[in-house]
């Protein structure tokens, strides 16, 4: 089904061909797109420590103003074998910070000849965001596993504070899921519970936030390894275009007692 036209139909004069772009079935009016907006990971990012590891999740929408530059982007950046970071804010800034962090942690790993601590990666990200805060627009979540402290998550928001948490959310979509997370998070979940919890909360955020959408990317870090997966749009619990259908993958005791979420039937 085609979405209704929100922009005026481009002119069909031959001299105005440059103003039209054919993209699949759609005609895009190049002049109506605001190219001056910086490319942002508008985002919903989330990380949760469960019993045995830490799971990271993110949506996949990268926007520049009203244009979606990439609808399947990967906001989970590798830093080291067991350290990853989630990016939100201006894409250029966060990509550069992650690249520099990777460089320094690589040096630290070879100097120590051990798995580098997750705290060091977070500290390096913090030093960039704090010292250059007037130039940058970056908020990141650094998570991973190390042999001394086990699974850890560190949030570094815009100003450059460094906070260790067991559940961290970030990006513009995190505001829409904070109530759900506060209600349904519990410490020491199993991997399956954690995965279901994250899929549900990220899709709630994607449902309401215009800068978040696409697919859900998940990454699981444990002592034994790292595994990735993605939840494609047709498997999302809340289908973004389709109001009449929704399914609750994740249930909790609170929901059964009638306090909980009823997302269906609209």
Partner 1 sequence: QMCIRDRYQRRVHGDQGFVIKMAGSGYDYDVSTLSPEGKIYQVEYAMKATENSSTILGMVCKDGVLLGTEKLIVSEMMVSGSDRRVYSVTKQIGMVITGLLPDGRCLIDRAKEESASFQKQYGIPITGKVLADRIAQFMHMNTIYLWARPYGCNIIIAAFDEFGGPTLHLIDPSGQCFGYFGCAAGKGRQIARNEIEKLGAKNLTCKEAAFNMAKILHKCHEEMKEKKFELEMSWICPETGMTHQMLPKDMQKEMEIRAQETLEKEAMADVQSQIMKNINICLLYTSD
- Is 164 a binding residue for partner 1 by CB under 8 A? The answer is no
Tokens 């019993």, residue located: 51
* Range in contact with partner 1 (rule: CB under 8 A) among 8-16, 119-127, 194-202, 231-239: 119-127
- Is 100 a binding residue for partner 1 by CB under 8 A? The answer is no
- Asked about 43 being catalytic, the answer comes back as yes
- Is 122 a binding residue for partner 1 by CB under 8 A? The answer is yes
Q: Looking at 42, 117, 214, 237, which residue binds partner 1 (CB under 8 A)?
A: 117
Q: Looking at 25, 111, 182, 234, which residue binds partner 1 (CB under 8 A)?
A: 111
Q: Residue 104: in which H helix or E strand, if any?
A: helix 91-112
- Between residues 108 and 226, which has the closer beta carbon with respect to partner 1? 108
Given 43, 94, 155, 169, the catalytic residue: 43
Closest CA to 209 of 248, 238, 250, 246: 238
- The sign of the dihedral angle between the CA atoms of 64, 69, 70, 74 is negative
Cα–Cα distance measured from residue 27 to residue 23, given in angstroms and rounded to the nearest whole number: 6
Phi, psi for 144 (deg, rounded to 5): 175, -170
* Range in contact with partner 1 (rule: CB under 8 A) among 30-38, 71-79, 107-115, 191-199: 107-115
Closest CA to 43 of 85, 97, 13: 85
**Smallest distance from partner 1 to CB 116, Å:** 8
Cα–Cα distance measured from residue 156 to residue 175, given in angstroms and rounded to the nearest whole number: 16
Q: Residue 118: in which H helix or E strand, if any?
A: helix 118-131
DSSP category for residue 215: -
**Smallest distance from partner 1 to CB 78, Å:** 18
- Is 124 a binding residue for partner 1 by CB under 8 A? The answer is yes
* Range in contact with partner 1 (rule: CB under 8 A) among 116-124, 136-144, 181-189, 225-233: 116-124
What tokens does 146 get? 């190390």
- Is 180 a binding residue for partner 1 by CB under 8 A? The answer is no
- Between residues 118 and 177, which has the closer beta carbon with respect to partner 1? 118
- Is 108 a binding residue for partner 1 by CB under 8 A? The answer is yes
- Is 123 a binding residue for partner 1 by CB under 8 A? The answer is yes
**Smallest distance from partner 1 to CB 99, Å:** 16
- Is 175 a binding residue for partner 1 by CB under 8 A? The answer is no
17 to each of 7, 24, 25, 26, 36, how far by Cα in Å?
17, 16, 17, 15, 22
Neighbours of 65 (CB within 10 A): 14
| Contacts to partner 1 by CB under 8 A | 104, 108, 111-114, 116-117, 119-120, 122-124, 127, 148
């Amino acid at each position: 089904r085609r979405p209704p036209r929100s922009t005026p139909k481009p002119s069909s004069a031959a001299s105005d061909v440059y103003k039209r772009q054919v993209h699949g079935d759609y005609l895009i009016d190049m002049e109506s797109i605001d190219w001056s907006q910086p490319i942002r990971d508008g985002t919903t990012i989330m990380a949760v420590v469960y019993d045995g590891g830490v799971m990271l999740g993110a949506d996949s929408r990268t926007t520049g103003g009203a244009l979606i530059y990439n609808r399947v982007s990967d906001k989970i950046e590798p830093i080291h074998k067991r350290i990853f970071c989630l990016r939100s804010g201006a894409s250029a800034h966060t990509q550069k910070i992650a690249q520099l962090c990777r460089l320094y942690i690589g040096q630290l790993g070879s100097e120590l000849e051990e798995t580098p601590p997750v705290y060091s990666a977070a500290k390096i990200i913090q030093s960039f965001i704090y010292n250059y805060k007037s130039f940058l627009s970056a908020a990141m979540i650094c998570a991973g596993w190390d042999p001394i402290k086990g699974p850890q998550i560190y949030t570094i928001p815009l100003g450059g504070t460094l906070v260790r948490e067991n559940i961290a959310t970030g990006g513009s979509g995190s505001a829409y899921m904070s109530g759900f997370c506060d209600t349904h998070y519990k410490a020491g979940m199993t991997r399956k519970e954690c995965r279901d919890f994250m899929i549900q909360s990220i899709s709630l955020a994607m449902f309401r936030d215009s800068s978040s959408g696409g697919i859900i990317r998940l990454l699981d870090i444990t002592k034994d390894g790292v595994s990735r997966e993605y939840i494609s749009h047709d498997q999302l619990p809340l289908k973004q275009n389709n109001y009449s259908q929704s399914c609750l993958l994740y249930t909790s005791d609170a929901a059964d007692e009638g306090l909980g979420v009823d997302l269906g039937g609209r």
